[in-house]
A and B are shown apart, each in its own frame.
Chain A
Amino acid sequence: MSAKRYFKKELPWVLFLVPALLVYSIVVIIPTISTLVYSFTDYNGFSSAFHLVGGKNYLQVFQNKDAVNSITNSLIYGITVPVLVTALAIPLALVLNSNLKTRNVLRAVFFFPSVISTLFLGYIWKFILSSSSTGLINSLRIHAGKEILLLLADQKMAMPLLILITVWASVGWHACIYIANLQTISPDYYEAATLDGASKWQQFKSITLPMLTPAMSSSILLLLTGNLKAYDLPYALTSGGPGTATTMITQTIIEEGVTSNRVGYASAMSFLFLIVIAVLTISVNTFIARREKKLYE
């Protein structure tokens, strides 16, 4: 085939890829490469004169207590939430997939928080858990004659509360993923197991749970990537406080880069964070893929 004819044949196929690739280059590829480059410089966001500083920014991230703290917070939050949501969404899915009369209404109720902007969910819970006497919990406590609690303003309580609220907000959505998967499991397996005298728990352990692997892989992946990079909900609920008890890495990156103009340093933090997310998602993905492979053997 002549080069010209080959080109003519290939052109439409390439043109179909171009629009998406163009958007993607502007929004993701160029900024990702720039982040890597900036992370080795002292760029401040506007002056065109910046210098290579080698690995200094990276060293600084590890030496800065606030940066280490916010990375730790993101990891605690980003790992605990997926574990809790998965542990609750699977039983919820089982119940909502059984023959309850109200199951459709119940599904709608549990899914509902997913429709609302996470920023707003943060505000709503702030009304409830406010440390002032006007918050719902505290005004109920006053009526009951008890002293008010610090709740979100309590160093030790803020993170667990934030995690609970996130679980509340995402459990219904993930239960739906599991319900869809449950409906693909053939009832024959259970009939055979019942004939063999397997108990309900044994059936769950050796039929349901392994067969739920496909849903588990997408659900956990969504949870992990979504919560490690959470920003809206923590920001609306606590703005990272009290002190730095719930400051996430995303908030620190934005503060350092946008507010303090330390773009080089913030870029180094971004890139480290990217590596952490990539390593975590890839390892969880490989682990689940291996389980999935076993399932079909």
Chain B
Amino acid sequence: MEKKYTKKTLLTEMIMIFIAVAFMIPLYYLVVSTFKDQQQILENPLALPSSLSLTNYMKALQTMDYWKNFGNSLLITSVSVLIVVIFGSMAAYSFSRHKTKISKFTGFLFLLGFMVPAQTTMLPLFTVMKGLHLINTYMGMILLHSNQCVFAFMLYRGFIRTIPLELEEAARIDGCNMWQSFWKVTFPLLQPITITIVVFNVMWIWNDFMLTYLFLNSSSKATLIMQVFNGVGTFSNDWSMMMSALVLALLPMVIFYLVMQKQIVEGVAAGAVKG
């Protein structure tokens, strides 16, 4: 039911565009500042830059070791997200398709843990990770982020229920074992919710600060976010360079957002309302 486009709608449209412009001012300010020097930022903070000089970006790139940090972020995020999807979907499959005392208890445990904020377990977690020799390692970070599989479990659980059993049964009759029937038949059918889970987790894991701050403080393994954080002290006297470093570090997620925009906005919906 599409309503008519009236004068009132036009007015709403104008007001919303105005609000949206105001809403984006902080980000506009950030981006234009990267093309100015310190003096220009102070004199005309909101004016468009007089030239598109990339000096600040060059300086920031030199101090940051950008590609190394980018690679670290990419490695940690991609492996973690892969594990989240595999472990989460497998557990949800077992839970939804085969109700036993064990699976029910596991589901209950996962639900409880959803409420435990990571900060409250931070200190013993540090001891555990130290015992496993995983402090300051990629492996350790991946293990920590893999715990997001509990979140994936919750979303998959709701979704698997909507998938008919017949296909799996047919596969089993044809001689597939559980492993094969899950990956060849069921998992491909979970694609919509898998996309949602991947999108959410890429953003969360890539942008994570607290876990990385506590468990990965070696600068050679730092993620992009950490590198900017480490650089704050060095940058603090040169705002235009700091802002350029920020833009460089948030660029990958912005590109990810622009490419995946439709899935992201729909994913929020699918995850929250149906899950």
Asked if A and B are interacting partners, one says yes
Listed in ascending order, the chain A residues whose CB lies under 8 Å from chain B are: 10, 12-14, 16-17, 19-21, 23-24, 26-32, 34-35, 38, 45, 95-96, 98-102, 105-120, 123-125, 127-128, 133-134, 136, 139-140, 168, 173, 176-177, 179-181, 184, 187, 214-215, 218-219, 222, 225, 228-229, 231-232, 250, 253-254, 257-258, 263, 266-267, 270-271, 273-274, 277-278, 281
Complex Cα distance A162/B120, Å? Answer: 23
Is B27 within 8 A of A266, CB to CB? no
A27/B29 contact (C-beta < 8 A), A20-B88, A254-B119 known: no
Complex Cα distance A209/B179, Å? Answer: 45
Q: Please provide the chain B residues from 233 to 250 with a CB less than 8 Å away from any CB of chain A in the complex.
A: 239, 242-243, 246, 249-250
Is B147 within 8 A of A28, CB to CB? yes
Complex Cα distance A244/B88, Å? Answer: 40
Complex Cα distance A106/B18, Å? Answer: 11
A32/B254 contact (C-beta < 8 A), A102-B16, A112-B27, A124-B30 known: no
Cβ 8 A contact of B128, one of A30, A214, A278, A281: A30
User: In the complex, what residues of B have CB within 8 A of residue A179's CB?
Assistant: 269
User: In the complex, what residues of A have CB within 8 A of residue B93's CB?
Assistant: 16
A23/B123 contact (C-beta < 8 A), A109-B20, A124-B27 known: no
Q: A95-B16, A124-B246, A222-B272 are in contact. List 20 more A-B contacts (CB 8 A).
A: A10-B102, A13-B103, A16-B91, A20-B90, A27-B121, A27-B146, A28-B113, A28-B147, A109-B23, A111-B268, A114-B203, A127-B239, A133-B42, A140-B45, A180-B266, A214-B273, A232-B209, A250-B119, A271-B120, A277-B115
Complex Cα distance A109/B147, Å? Answer: 31
Is B123 within 8 A of A45, CB to CB? yes
Cβ 8 A contact of A274, one of B109, B110, B116, B269: B116
Is A218 within 8 A of B147, CB to CB? no
B48 within 8 A of A: no
Q: CB-nearest residue of chain B relative to A229?
A: B117
User: In the complex, what residues of B have CB within 8 A of residue A99's CB?
Assistant: 2-3, 5, 9
A180/B269 contact (C-beta < 8 A), A17-B95, A109-B23, A117-B209 known: yes
Cβ 8 A contact of A102, one of B1, B17, B256: B17
Cβ 8 A contact of B253, one of A17, A35, A117: A117
Is B207 within 8 A of A118, CB to CB? yes
B12 within 8 A of A: yes
Q: How far is the CB of B123 from chain A (nearest CB, A)?
A: 4
Complex Cα distance A117/B120, Å? Answer: 22
User: In the complex, what residues of B have CB within 8 A of residue A125's CB?
Assistant: 26
Question: Which residue, B9, B95, B229, B270, has most C-beta atoms of chain A within 10 A?
Answer: B229
Q: CB-nearest residue of chain B relative to A37?
A: B124
- What are 11 sample pairs from A and B whose C-beta atoms fall under 8 A apart? A16-B178, A20-B88, A20-B110, A23-B87, A24-B150, A35-B120, A111-B268, A250-B117, A258-B123, A266-B123, A274-B117
